[in-house]
Each structure stands twice: as structure tokens, then as C-alpha cells.
Amino acid sequence: MESKPLNVHSIESFGTQDGPGIRMVVFLQGCNIRCKYCQNADTISLEGGTLTPIDDLVKRAVNMKPYFKNIGGVTVSGGEPLLQADALIPFFKALNAEGINTNVDTNGTVTTEAAKKIISEVSDLVMFDVKHTTVEGFEALVKARGLKKVIENIELREQSGKPYWLRYVLVPGITDSDESLEWLAQTFGNNKHLDRLEILPFHKLGEHKWEMLGEKYELQDQEENTQENLDRVEAYLSKTFKNLVIK
């Protein structure tokens, strides 16, 4: 049976920010939440994108294999890639058959059977965003429910014994309280298969995309992190997380 195509927003050939090594990053169109700080606001709409056959994407990745070396590969990001989990399963299996490493960069809120299959067995690596540490804070920041689902999906990956990363955007006054840092340490600090916690300092690089879409960028007046704040967070979290990376 012919596989479903993926609805692709854009492709970055030599990504170095979304997983190990050099990666082909496929950004899919459409997201189920709406983070105030989203840097790819043009990927949120479920409309638009280009329906792209999986075979075309696999061929492109195979051509890039010399650059991947031993640690690179393909990352699927978005938007929220697990909204297209049905089509991602055959895509990832075809990549693995070519010896190419797979990684999915997800907000963790999708709980369909196909999404769970990717999380628990299909993807070589999963990078989960943890958007906030309280239900109220999560819902205010991303305009949707889902923190419980994120925690459940991370637990599913942990139980699978396969590696994963967590990524946490540090927004002063919103996600950087001592209570939030302590929650991260308590909730994930003992997880055996967590390979890396990445702290992504908030910045306003995506602001112009909201403007181009004619939409309000709600964090216009939000302060960025001072070096002092980053040092405080690093000192706190590095006590628990051995593979802490502040980007």
C-alpha cells in the first residue's frame, strides 16, 4: 500500500540545533498548541504546507548520508510532528532501513496510538519540550491543556528504555522560579534514559513571523535572561542533571 505523504512546511539540510550531529530537519505543518514564544508561528496553522511523498524525503536523506557520519541523521520537527504520526512510522522505518538515525522533536501532547508507537519504539531519539511545570502555567503559556499528557508520554519513553532529551524554554518570571526548577529535578531527576536536559533561554527571534501573519506577539515586552539568571539556573539544575546543556 502506498504510504501517506507528509505535510511539510520546510526542510533544513544542515541543522545543528535539533539533535546530535548534522541533521536534515523536516519541519511539518500544523500544531495543536499555541506557545506565546513560538519561533515558527508560520507552522502552527493546519492549512498550507506541501504534501510530500515519503520516498522523496528518504531519497534526499540518503543523499545527505556522508554528512551525517556516525551521529547525525534526520529530525522531524514542526509544528507538532506527532499530529502526522501515521505517516511518520513508515518514514522512520524507511530511514532506519537505510541506516539513518531518526529523531522527533515533539511538544509531547499527542496521545494517539501512532504517536505512542513512535515514542515507545519507532524513533531512535525523542526530544520532548516541557513547556511549564504547573497546569495553570502550562495552559496560560501554550493556550491549551496537556501537561499531564506530556508527563505520561515522557514516562512511556522512559519505560521503553530508549534515550530521550528534554528541552525547557527559560522565560524570566514565567518558567524560571525556584519551584519550577525543583519540580523538574523531582519529576525527571532520577530518569535513567534521559540523556540530556537542554535549557533554551527565551529570546524574541520569532517575533517577526507573528507580525508577518498579522497576529499579536504577546511577549513583546518580556525580558530576556541575564547571565546571572542563567548562572543561577545552571547551578541549581546541574546538581541533579549530569547532562545539562544551557544553549
- What amino acid occupies position 237? L
- What amino acid occupies position 119? I
**Which of 7/43 has CB closer to ligand SF4?**
43
- Residue 19 CB neighbours (<10 A): 27
- Choosing from 4, 34, 60, 149, the residue that interacts with ligand SF4 (CB under 6 A) is 34
* E strand residue ranges, 21-149: 23-28, 50-52, 73-77, 101-106, 125-129
Residue 174 contacts ligand SF4 per CB under 6 A: no
CB of 44 to ligand SF4, least distance (A): 5
Residue 44 contacts ligand SF4 per CB under 6 A: yes
Is residue 221 packed enough to be buried (19+ CB in 10 Å), middle (13-18) or exposed (0-12)?
Answer: exposed
Q: What is the size of the binding site for ligand SF4 (CB under 6 A)?
A: 12
Residue 38 contacts ligand SF4 per CB under 6 A: yes
- Choosing from 7, 29, 107, 133, the residue that interacts with ligand SF4 (CB under 6 A) is 107
- Choosing from 18, 80, 124, 176, the residue that interacts with ligand SF4 (CB under 6 A) is 80
CB of 6 to ligand SF4, least distance (A): 16
- Choosing from 15, 49, 73, 78, the residue that interacts with ligand SF4 (CB under 6 A) is 78
Can you tell me which residue has the cell 507528509? 6
CB of 42 to ligand SF4, least distance (A): 10
- What amino acid occupies position 93? K
CB of 77 to ligand SF4, least distance (A): 8
With H, G, I as helix, E, B as strand and everything else as coil, classify residue 244: strand
**Contact region for ligand SF4 (CB under 6 A) — 6-14, 40-48, 62-70, 228-236?**
40-48
Q: How far apart are CA 111 and CA 117, in angstroms?
A: 10
Backbone φ and ψ of 127, nearest 5°: -110, 115
| DSSP type of residue 24 | E
> Which residues lie near ligand SF4 (CB under 6 A)?
31, 33-35, 38, 40, 43-44, 78-80, 107
